[in-house]
Amino acid sequence: MPDRPLPAGLPPAAAAPARLRVGVIGAGRVGSVLGAALAAAGHDVVAAAGLSTASADRAARLLPGVPLLPADEVVAVSDLVVLAVPDDTLAGLVTGLAETGAWRRGQLAFHTSGAHGLAVLAPAERAGVLCLALHPAMTFSGGPEDVARLVAAPFGVSSHPEHRVVAEALVLEMGGEPFWLAEADRRLYHAALVTGANHLVTLVSEAADLLRTAGVENPARVLGPLLSAALDNGLRRGDRALTGPVSRGDAGTVRDHLETLADRAPDAVPAYVAMAQRTTERALATGRLRAQEGAPLLELLRNASQAAR
C-alpha cells in the first residue's frame, strides 16, 4: 500500500496518538474491554455496535453512556474504528461497509482477530483507511477482571512497515505489549493460541468431570495446585517437564486407564487417546522415551483409536 498521511492529530512518532473519537463494532467480551482501555487512555468512545442483550449489558457496564448504533453509523462518527467481531463475520462486515461507502480516507481501523491479518481489511484500505491487525493474546471471560488482564498483555500485531509506530502506540495505550507477526504466520499463530488456551479449558473441564465421577466433591481443590505446577513447569522446561505413565513407558497403566474410561466415562476415551498419542510422539522425539518403550504405547493407542471409531 502506498504511504499516506496519518489521520488528523495522529503523530508520525512513537508518542501516544492524540485524542480520537473511537467507535467499537462488536461490543462483546473483547470490544468492550478494548473500548474501556482506550477511554482510560484519554480517547472519546463515541459509539458502539452490538446485537445481543449480553453485548448491550456489557457496553452499559464498561462503556457507560456510549450509544449503541448500527455499524455504519458507528463508522460515520469515528476517527478510530475497533472491529471486534467473530473471525467468520469480519470479512463480510468490512466489505459491506465499503459497499455502502461508510469508510472514509483518513480514518484509522484495527481488528482484533488472531486468525486474520491485513488482507481482510483490504476494502477499507482501498477507501483510504489506515488499517492494523491488533490481537490481544489473552482470554476474556466477560467478568470484571478482564480490563485488568490487558495490563502487559501481549498483542500479536501485523501492519505495513510505515504504520508500525501507530500500531505500537495504540497497543501501549491499551496497556499491552506488541510483538510483530508476518501476515503469512497469523493462522499458525492463532492455531497455537487456540491449542494452548481453548483446548486447555476443555482439558481442565474434562479432568474435573472425571474427578466428580470418581466421587471427588471439589475437583478444583485437587486440580488447582497440580495444574498450576504443571503449567509453570511446562512453560519453563517444555517437554522436559513431562511426568506420568507415558513418560515412564507404562503401557499397562495406560491400558488400565482406557478400560476404566470405556466403562465409566466412554465419551472421554477419544480425547484421552489423542492426547496420550501426541504425548508419546513428543516424548519419543525429545528422548524422554526410548523407541522400545514408545512402540507398545503407540500400538495400544492406535488400537484404542480404531476401536473408538
Note whether residue 7 is domain-resident: no
Note whether residue 15 is domain-resident: no
When divided into structural domains, the chain yields a total of 2
pLDDT at 61 over 80: yes
Note whether residue 8 is domain-resident: no
pLDDT tens-digit map of 103-161: 999 999 999 999 999 999 999 999 999 999 999 999 988 777 888 999 999 999 999 99
What is the model's pLDDT at position 16? 47
Please tell me whether residue 278 adopts helix, strand or coil conformation. helix
pTM over 0.85: yes
What does the pLDDT average to over 27-55? 93
Note whether residue 201 is domain-resident: yes
Mean of all residue pLDDT scores within the chain: 92
Last residue in a domain, options 140, 159, 181: 181
| Same domain, yes or no: 230 and 291 | yes
| Same domain, yes or no: 193 and 177 | no
Of 2-6, 124-128, 237-241, the one with minimum mean pLDDT is 2-6
Domain containing 177 equals: 21-181
| Same domain, yes or no: 165 and 209 | no
Last residue in a domain, options 130, 148, 181: 181
Find how far residue 100's CA is from the centre of its chain. Answer: 30
Q: Cell for 211?
A: 474427578
